[in-house]
């Protein structure tokens, strides 16, 4: 099975990627010495779609299995849900040796990882991502978090899983819209570090959107390798290297916040953020016009949005100031110098930013 090794000294682990491999998860866990009792954190939809295969596989390898469900919503990444879960886990954890399985998309991954990080000052957990975004991004790298009413991911930790187990077969139950949202992040990986990946997506986006498992597997493997390379160099985001993963996210996160997380899927917001960052790169003379056009065209081919709707310029700028990426009074953008290359630029004059956002606003305000 394709495997990516994540080298982080005593926090090293493997990412195992394959097609229809969920039924072999139990076997993959036996040598990891995680414990005997699996606590599976998931939501009702994912449990209904794929829970049986997971629990059968674990029980076959002599693990006990307990599911704890949380509502299917970003609101589950809250202190209330996290503490409810911690209480249920503590009551269950009598005479057992438990470990946690995060079985879901980024919401479940972030929440379950957070719970694993703080329960008894940290117990083992593994990630079994069930969304495309989860498999190429959120399950990798050990960032776990819950949200506060004032902002996303404000309470969290760096806490690495003991295994990431990505079965692309699980992606067959996603809608094309959900795959499209994940594809925005895949395009991001191409722009920040690998032109060949970008070209592959440009050629095969239709197959990817239709759920072609071989193509999805290739992209999950490719993106995992790119993210791992970045994370290995800067595990805890102290060296500024991990910043490049934020290409498209300065404006993307601001759009999500300004629309109160109702207006856009994450990938759609990131796509708009990448468009604005590319417009900025052009304005600042960092990037050739043909490169910028190619990126904009591929995003359009995939069906990702090109216009910012229902959000006011002022609200986007305000949200940008509140973001973690704002350092003191200085903004911070990842810009592109051509597909496959990026550059982190601080303190861009506000007129440039306004111009780049305004050119994409459907209604000026
Ligand atoms: N930790 C990180 O490094 C990191 C990185 C990127 C994003 N994130 C976080 O990830 C979250 C977004 O994750 P997401 O896009 O996976 O969204 P999500 O977890 O909300 O999942 C999207 C939807 O897909 C459903 N779903 C999941 N798997 C399914 C399957 N196999 N078949 C059918 N439906 C399925 C879910 O129930 C949900 O309704 C955000 O909270 C974001 O902050 C974290
Ligand atoms: Zn993202």
DSSP conformation letters of 23-77: GGHHHHHHTT---SEEEEEE-HHHIIIIIHHHHHHHHHTT-EEEEEE--SSGGGS
268: Cβ below 6 Å to ligand 1?
no
174 is written with which tokens?
Answer: 């996603």
pTM, two decimals, is 0.96
Q: Report which bound ligand comes closest to the CA of 252.
A: 2
261: Cβ below 6 Å to ligand 1?
no
Task: Check residue 361 and report its DSSP letter.
Answer: B
pLDDT at site 331: 87
For residue 73, give the ligand 1 atom closest to its CA: 20
Q: Cα of 266 to ligand 2 centre, how many Å? A: 7
Q: For residues 64 and 96, give the distance between their C-alpha atoms in angstroms, rounded to a whole number.
A: 10
Q: Cα of 131 to ligand 2 centre, how many Å? A: 13
167: Cβ below 6 Å to ligand 1?
no
Q: What is the mean pLDDT of each run of 10 residues along the chain (365 residues)?
A: 94 97 98 97 98 98 98 95 98 96 98 98 98 97 93 93 98 96 97 97 97 97 97 93 95 92 91 97 95 97 95 92 71 94 93 94 66
Burial class (CB in 10 A: 0-12, 13-18, 19+), 121: exposed
Q: Could you count the other beta carbons within 10 Å of the beta carbon of residue 297?
A: 11
Whether the Cβ atoms of residue 292 and residue 278 lie closer than 8 Å to each other:
yes
Choosing from 73, 164, 178 the residue with most ligand 1 atoms within 8 A of its CB, the one to mutate for a pocket test is 178
Nearest CA to 248 out of 313, 192, 195 is that of 192
* Bridge pairing between strands 332-338 and 163-167: unpaired
38: Cβ below 6 Å to ligand 1?
no
43: Cβ below 6 Å to ligand 1?
yes
Shortest-distance Cα residue to atom 23 of ligand 1:
105
Q: For residues 125 and 23, give the distance between their C-alpha atoms in angstroms, rounded to a whole number.
A: 18
266: Cβ below 6 Å to ligand 1?
yes
pLDDT at site 223: 98
72: Cβ below 6 Å to ligand 1?
yes
Residues 6+ apart with CB under 8 A from 112: 41, 100, 101, 102, 103, 104, 125, 144
pLDDT at site 364: 47
For residue 113, give the ligand 1 atom closest to its CA: 1
pLDDT at site 327: 64
Choosing from 20, 40, 101, 107 the residue with most ligand 1 atoms within 8 A of its CB, the one to mutate for a pocket test is 107
Q: Cα of 249 to ligand 2 centre, how many Å? A: 7
Shortest-distance Cα residue to atom 25 of ligand 1:
105
pLDDT at site 365: 46
pLDDT at site 310: 85
Q: Cα of 161 to ligand 1 centre, how many Å? A: 17
Q: Report which bound ligand comes closest to the CA of 134.
A: 1
For residue 129, give the ligand 1 atom closest to its CA: 28
């Amino acid at each position: 099975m394709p495997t990516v090794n994540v080298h982080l000294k005593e926090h090293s682990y493997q990412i195992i990627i394959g097609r229809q491999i969920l039924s072999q998860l139990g076997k993959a866990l036996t040598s990891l010495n995680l414990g005997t009792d699996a606590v599976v954190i998931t939501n009702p939809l994912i449990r209904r779609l794929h829970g049986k295969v997971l629990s059968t596989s674990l029980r076959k390898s002599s693990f006990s299995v307990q599911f704890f469900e949380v509502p299917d919503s970003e609101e589950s990444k809250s202190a209330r849900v996290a503490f409810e879960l911690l209480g249920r886990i503590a009551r269950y954890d009598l005479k057992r040796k438990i470990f946690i399985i995060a079985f879901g998309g980024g919401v479940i991954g972030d929440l379950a990882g957070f719970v694993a990080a703080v329960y008894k000052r940290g117990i083992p957990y593994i990630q079994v991502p069930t969304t495309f975004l989860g498999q190429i991004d959120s399950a990798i790298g050990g960032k776990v978090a819950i949200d506060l009413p004032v902002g996303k991911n404000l309470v969290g930790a760096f806490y690495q899983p003991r295994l990431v187990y990505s079965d692309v077969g699980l992606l067959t139950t996603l809608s094309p819209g959900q795959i499209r949202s994940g594809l925005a992040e895949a395009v991001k990986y191409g722009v920040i570090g690998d032109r060949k990946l970008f070209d592959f997506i440009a050629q095969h986006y239709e197959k990817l959107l239709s759920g072609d498992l071989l193509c999805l597997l290739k992209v999950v493997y490719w993106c995992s390798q790119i993210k791992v390379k970045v994370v290995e160099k800067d595990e805890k985001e102290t060296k500024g290297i991990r910043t490049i993963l934020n290409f498209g996210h300065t404006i993307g996160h601001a759009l999500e916040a300004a629309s109160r997380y109702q207006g856009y899927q994450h990938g759609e917001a990131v796509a708009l953020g990448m468009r604005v960052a590319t417009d900025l790169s052009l304005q600042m003379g960092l990037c050739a016009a043909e490169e910028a056009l190619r990126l904009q065209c591929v995003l359009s081919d995939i069906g990702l949005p090109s216009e910012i709707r229902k959000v006011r310029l002022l609200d986007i700028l305000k949200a940008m100031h509140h973001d973690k990426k704002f350092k003191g009074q200085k903004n911070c953008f990842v810009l592109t110098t051509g597909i496959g290359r990026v550059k982190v630029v601080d303190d861009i004059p506000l007129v440039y930013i306004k111009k780049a956002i305004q050119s994409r606003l459907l209604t000026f305000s």
